[in-house]
Structure 1
Amino acid sequence: MSSTALDSFLDKWRSRWPEWSVAAPFVAESQRELAVAWFALLQEFDDMLNTGGDPLPADAKLAWWGEELRSWAGQRSRHPLGRVLEPIRAPWAQLAEALPDLVEARTAALDAANAERALANYAGAVAAVEAALFLDTPGKDTPRKGAARAVLLQTLAQRLHETGVAGIPRSLLEEDAGSAAQDWARQLLKGWGTRVPGPRARRVWSSLARARLAAQAAGKPVEATPVRTLLRVWWAARG
């Protein structure tokens, strides 16, 4: 597997999150490439969750990824991202088992509770992998209660950003379709603090995603200037 193939996946994620150039120094240098590789993988899953049109190609990719992740337990990766991620002993099989939930989660949720339930198992699996990926020694910065919820809220926010109406619970659309997107953004923000549980890499990325959602909730463009980004990630990185 060529380094060019790996770089294409890493660069694709960086192009979607240009703020990361400011945020990256708040992650330990030894974990920066690992963090981007992991987030690039999650973006692949987000794309399959939020696909439009014919879902069959995305379903086939999810099935392939399920097999791929299971093979990582035996350190037999085929995907370029596996070059970075596979050497880490993490619960890859648990994540593989959760991927089919993304197919079901594409269906428009009836309400907020339904939207959260649909992705709860997946978010828990992601949080479990992150705990293994980013904890240097047992007991250091141990995962805290709520790490999975932080993943869940960010996944739902990304779904809203990418799919619009398809990512909004039906109950909000029925109340007021015109303001439903902002209403859903505000609901997601209620439980999403400026600092979240979990490893530092997640906390830093979460702060960037939260800023985007807050702007959507307010009906304004996100203010992602270097100074504002610096302040956000500094606060988030403190833990």
Structure 2
Amino acid sequence: MTDSSALDSFLAKWQAQWPEWAVAEVFLPPPQRQRARAWLALRGELTEAAWGGDDPTPGAAKLGWWEEELAGWSRGARRHPLGLALQKLPLDWPLLAAGIPALRASRSPEGDREQSLRGLAPFARAQAVLSAQLFETMPPASTQPMAEALLAEWVLHLPGRGVPAAGTDVPSLLALPRLREAPRAERIHAGLVRARLARAASGPLSAPVALLASWRAARG
């Protein structure tokens, strides 16, 4: 398998999990679309390793591998096919690697929502900084909304894995402000997550629902 076909395979894997993106990305400028798919596919690899499955051991090992991989990207090294689309971009890859332990620990948050958000803060900050660099926008003044968006995404992985921490039930999360001070790709993805939560759907939304959710998120 060539590097290009391996990259296409990982992008297709993420697209299969988020088929709504085929509708949602019409609200992105065409030059940003491939970059957004690669970035969201990378994030999907990390969050699936952190939160997916009944046994945390394989995911923890995978996250350890990703820490090394992302640190290598800053030195020009690359093993994962997603690096073909992302590694050469001038992003703070060590910062994202440094946020992975917090993501790993967020698999089973304890306490209330504020404690859960504090736990996610290092990864949320890294995500906010790198996405601003990637899409050439100003970093947000606060990364709290990004952490809230991540917490909502965590809840989508919950079926069969227990009860959310206090304050992370779906009604409480939907009452939080929408993600606004972030690149459009991040806002749209967060909008799709909220739409799935609102419909108690861990799977894809219908095209009309996805289109409306994406339009609202793209407007800011």
Q: Hey, what does 2:194 align to over in structure 1?
A: 210
Residue-by-residue CA offset, 1:174-230 (whole Å, 9 max, x unaligned): xxxxxxxxx71111122232x5211111112111111112223xxx89993333332
Q: Hey, what does 2:111 align to over in structure 1?
A: 110
Whole-Å Cα distance in 2 between the matches of residues 162 and 94 of structure 1? 25
**Count of matched residue positions in the alignment of Structure 1 and Structure 2:** 218
Whole-Å Cα distance in 2 between the matches of residues 62 and 154 of structure 1? 20
| Contact 1:72/1:86 (8 A) holds in 2 | yes
Residue 227, structure 1, aligned to residue 208, structure 2: yes
Q: Hey, what does 1:47 align to over in structure 2?
A: 48
Residue 149, structure 1, aligned to residue 133, structure 2: no
Whole-Å Cα distance in 2 between the matches of residues 221 and 108 of structure 1? 20
The correspondence of residues 93-172 of structure 1 with structure 2, limited to 5 A, is 93-135=94-136, 141-146=137-142, 148-164=143-159, 165-166=161-162, 168-169=164-165, 171=166
Whole-Å Cα distance in 2 between the matches of residues 49 and 55 of structure 1? 7
Secondary structure class of the residue paired with 2:59: helix
Secondary structure class of the residue paired with 1:113: helix
Residues 225/57 of structure 1: CA separation in 2 closer, same or farther (3 Å cut): closer
Which consecutive unaligned segments of at least 5 residues does structure 2 have?
none
The correspondence of residues 80-91 of structure 1 with structure 2, limited to 5 A, is 80-91=81-92
Residues 197/166 of structure 1: CA separation in 2 closer, same or farther (3 Å cut): farther
Which consecutive unaligned segments of at least 5 residues does structure 1 have?
136-140, 173-182
Q: What is the TM-score of this pair, normalised by structure 1? A: 0.82
Q: Which amino acid aligns with 2:73?
A: W
How far apart are 1:149 and its partner, in Å?
2.9
Pick from 169, 173, 176 the counterpart of residue 188 of structure 1: 173
Residues 157/91 of structure 1: CA separation in 2 closer, same or farther (3 Å cut): same
Q: Hey, what does 1:178 align to over in structure 2?
A: none
Question: RMSD over aligned Cα, in angstroms?
Answer: 2.2
Residues 108/74 of structure 1: CA separation in 2 closer, same or farther (3 Å cut): closer
State percent identity of aligned pairs: 37
Q: Hey, what does 1:180 align to over in structure 2?
A: none
Q: Hey, what does 1:175 align to over in structure 2?
A: none
Residues 201/167 of structure 1: CA separation in 2 closer, same or farther (3 Å cut): farther
Q: Hey, what does 1:28 align to over in structure 2?
A: 29
Find the structure with the greater CA-based Rg: 1
| Contact 2:63/2:100 (8 A) holds in 1 | yes
| Contact 1:2/1:80 (8 A) holds in 2 | yes
Residue-by-residue CA offset, 1:16-63 (whole Å, 9 max, x unaligned): 111111111111111111111111111111112113343332222111
Residue 236, structure 1, aligned to residue 220, structure 2: no
How far apart are 1:167 and its partner, in Å?
5.8
Whole-Å Cα distance in 1 between the matches of residues 67 and 163 of structure 2? 24
Q: Hey, what does 1:179 align to over in structure 2?
A: none
Q: Which amino acid aligns with 2:139?
A: P
Residue-by-residue CA offset, 1:69-98 (whole Å, 9 max, x unaligned): 111112221110001111111111011011
Residues 75/209 of structure 1: CA separation in 2 closer, same or farther (3 Å cut): same
Q: Which amino acid aligns with 1:60?
A: A
Residues 32/167 of structure 1: CA separation in 2 closer, same or farther (3 Å cut): farther
Q: What is the TM-score of this pair, normalised by structure 2? A: 0.89
Whole-Å Cα distance in 2 between the matches of residues 51 and 229 of structure 1? 23
Whole-Å Cα distance in 1 between the matches of residues 10 and 195 of structure 2? 24
